[in-house]
Structure 1
Amino acid sequence: TNIKELQAQKMADEPAVVMVNNYAKVGAGNFNTALGEVYINTGRDEALQGGAFFKHLSQEGNLSMQQFSKQEFGLFGRSIADDYSLSGRLIYDRNATNFYGFDPASSIPADMSKQRFSTIGAEAEIANNYSESSSVNYSANINAYQFSNIDDARESSVLLRGSLNKSVKQSNLGVNASVDMTSTKDLAYKVGNNILRANPYIKLKASGFNLDLGVNIVQEFGTQSRLNIFPAVSAELPIIEGYATIFAGVNGDVLKTSLRELAFENLYLNKNIAIKNSLEKMNVYGGVKGNASAEFGYKIMAWYKTMEDLQLFVNSPALINRFETIYDNGQSKILGIEGEINV
């Protein structure tokens, strides 16, 4: 025949791509700002990862005693087996500043003493890997930390969480549960703030319509004991396939107050801060989300909340450069709207 046999062509050897697993970064700015970061990782093996990082940020400011410094250090690891994955991390963070600021009308010198917060924490998790042959998924997590400030305030916490769900045809049955045990101690008090949660649910799907039906059962125990049951309902319906989906829901929860969270939100806390959980009795929300193109996503939503014991910061009447917490004992009604764009 006149058909010629094709000759195999030898492909050129391409050099292996060298993956960069580590980096270091330094920076400086006005007000004597200094920044540094170091990140170290084991390598390209996705099934076995480990590493460490360190971060530093400090600044002198332009007012007397305005300087602050913040450091973070962490170790982390992850192992992926055939059926499950294990991960864990250790963290330490430190945040230091001064109670700067004064009343110019006062002749009494302000107390600009130092403030420092530090946290040591650990976390571990096990979860099954997704498999088309298995209809059951699970995960379990433990998270613990020890928090302290420059005075005598201390807080220790252990959080145990787990989830289990099973797929049944077009539906999904599951439950999320957790036990959160926290002890907070300051000069004038010791508070036990413990929360037990259970969230059974069912997820239904049909022709693009998603409906989640569940309840959120929350039992507080320790210094305060209280049981609440909230709805946990949400729904989604595409109105323009691939471009717009409307969603709505109603839920509620107990919003835990911890000394650690308050300190990260407001560095200038006074001593003996009041600790009390807030109650989100109802949160009704709704909106629309989708994609206008392959590179442009959006989300617009409005929400209405009814709160009880809403936590607020106020200036200390005795020390103007420090803050205390108060709680609105009545019902607070909050209306909000928010938007999001992803490009």
Structure 2
Amino acid sequence: MQKLLILPLACLLSTGLMAQGERDLGNITEVVTGDFNPVIKDAAKISTNPVINDSTARIPVPAYKLKGQRINTTFEVEPIPSARMKQEPLSKLYRTHVKGGFGNYSMPLGEIYFNSLRSKEYHYGASLKHLSSRATLPDVAYSGFSDNELSLFGKYFMKDYTLAGDFNYTRNVVHYYGYNPELAPTIERGDIRQRFNLFNPNATFESTYKDTTKLHHKTGISYYNLSDVFDGATENNISFNSGLRKYISKEQIGLNTTFGYWHLNGPQDTTFNMIIGFNPHIISQRKNLKVKVGFNVGLEAATDATGSGEIFPDIEASYRLVGDIIIPYAGITGGLIERNSYRSLTDENPFLNAGSSMQ
């Protein structure tokens, strides 16, 4: 029995020695005295048997309590730009334009234009024109002519006003060719040449209010000096015009005034002429109907006539039947527009003599 007890102990000890590695622990001798009595302890067992329950388990229904509470929300509207139609691209502008040509009867043509580009503050330009001919007709004298023109202009744009001005110079030459040169061989070209020189400056000042309730106004002044070398005549003219308009309720009330003075120094005598005009009027528009009611007052004075005055009606009515397509209108008007002058007559007929009647 002792040998049996020692053998398991020896096995345990040897196993433990192997776990220690190769370390030398020495020799241990154990002596056990007594009988070997192996005992197995009783196992702890459940005394009750399992029971299988065939009924379905009852699931409790949860109860919820909802508390009603308003939640305040905010909504901010973001502004968006208004819809706009896509604009067409602006056309390219050029500062200069030159035109030239040559026609029958030795007729050269030349034109030169110069102007500023787009600007919100100013606009200016100049032009030079020439047209002439060295034509000769059978059985008559030399009939050549030449027309020359120089023009300068400018505009200055302000917030509520526009100032504009221009200067024009015209030089026209003709020849009195209406005779047979064989019957008068001693007459030279210089003897039948007529040359007109015209200087004409102008200026205007105009309001550009966006508010139609304000008093809009426009004022202009013009002057010209015309002279010829054949008769030695000289004509001077100064003209003035103005316009006022203002909306009162839905009616537009306006007043236009004009003034003109002409003075001619002819080869025989000196004459003058003066015209003054007033045009008060009212313009009313209701939907498609537009009516203008006013009158023209004209005052005239001249060298060969006593002063006189005239009153003329100025009435006009129009109605839009189909938009701007069909607009019938009717009216009656009159007035002293402008008296015949040496300039207006020679523009129509440059062969006119300065001694002709200006009536």
**Same fold per superposition (TM over 0.5):** yes
Q: 43-52 or 172-181, which moves further after superposition?
A: 43-52
Kept after mapping to 1: 8 A contact 2:213/2:248:
no
Structure 1: segments with no counterpart, 5+ residues: 1-15, 277-343
Going by fraction, where is strand more abundant, 1 or 2? 1
Kept after mapping to 2: 8 A contact 1:95/1:116:
yes
Offset of residue 189 of structure 1: 1.4
What does 1:292-303 align with in structure 2 at a 5 Å threshold?
Answer: none
SS of residue in 2 equivalent to 1:244: coil
SS of residue in 2 equivalent to 1:20: coil
Amino acid of the structure 2 residue aligned with 1:268: F
Offset of residue 26 of structure 1: 1.3
The CA RMSD measured in Å over matched residues stands at: 2.3
Kept after mapping to 1: 8 A contact 2:212/2:246:
no
Q: Which residue of 1 aligns with 2:93?
A: 19
Offset of residue 241 of structure 1: 3.0
Kept after mapping to 1: 8 A contact 2:288/2:321:
no
Give per-residue Cα distances to partners, 1:186-228, cap 9 Å, x unaligned: 0111111011111101111112111111111111124231111
Q: Which residue of 1 aligns with 2:194?
A: 115
Q: Which residue of 2 aligns with 1:171?
A: 251
Amino acid of the structure 2 residue aligned with 1:66: S
1:162 to 203, 228, 242: 242
- Are 2:84 and 1:84 equivalent residues in the alignment? no
Give per-residue Cα distances to partners, 1:64-92, cap 9 Å, x unaligned: 42211000001111001001000001110
Give per-residue Cα distances to partners, 1:296-321, cap 9 Å, x unaligned: xxxxxxxxxxxxxxxxxxxxxxxxxx
Kept after mapping to 2: 8 A contact 1:215/1:231:
yes
Alpha-carbon distance in 2 for matches of 1:103, 1:41 = 47
Q: Which residue of 2 aligns with 1:273?
A: 356
Alpha-carbon distance in 2 for matches of 1:134, 1:202 = 15
Kept after mapping to 2: 8 A contact 1:101/1:110:
no
Which 4+ residue blocks in structure 1 deviate beyond 4 angstroms? 106-112
Offset of residue 115 of structure 1: 1.3
Q: Output the TM-score relative to the length of structure 2.
A: 0.68
Q: Specify the structure having the higher radius of gyration (Cα).
A: 2
Kept after mapping to 1: 8 A contact 2:342/2:354:
no
Number of aligned residue pairs: 261
Q: Output the TM-score relative to the length of structure 1.
A: 0.71
Alpha-carbon distance in 1 for matches of 2:92, 2:239 = 40
Give per-residue Cα distances to partners, 1:162-204, cap 9 Å, x unaligned: 1001112221101000111110110111111011111101111
1:73 to 145, 150, 159: 150
Structure 2: segments with no counterpart, 5+ residues: 1-89
The 1:17/1:191 distance shift into structure 2, 3 A limit, reads: closer
Q: Which residue of 1 aligns with 2:171?
A: 94
What does 1:214-225 align with in structure 2 at a 5 Å threshold?
Answer: 214-223=294-303, 224=305, 225=307
Offset of residue 232 of structure 1: 1.1
Q: Which residue of 2 aligns with 1:333?
A: none
Offset of residue 233 of structure 1: 1.1
Q: Which residue of 2 aligns with 1:250?
A: 332
Give per-residue Cα distances to partners, 1:238-274, cap 9 Å, x unaligned: 2333321111111112241110010001111023121
Give per-residue Cα distances to partners, 1:120-147, cap 9 Å, x unaligned: 0110000001413643210000000001
The 1:171/1:134 distance shift into structure 2, 3 A limit, reads: closer
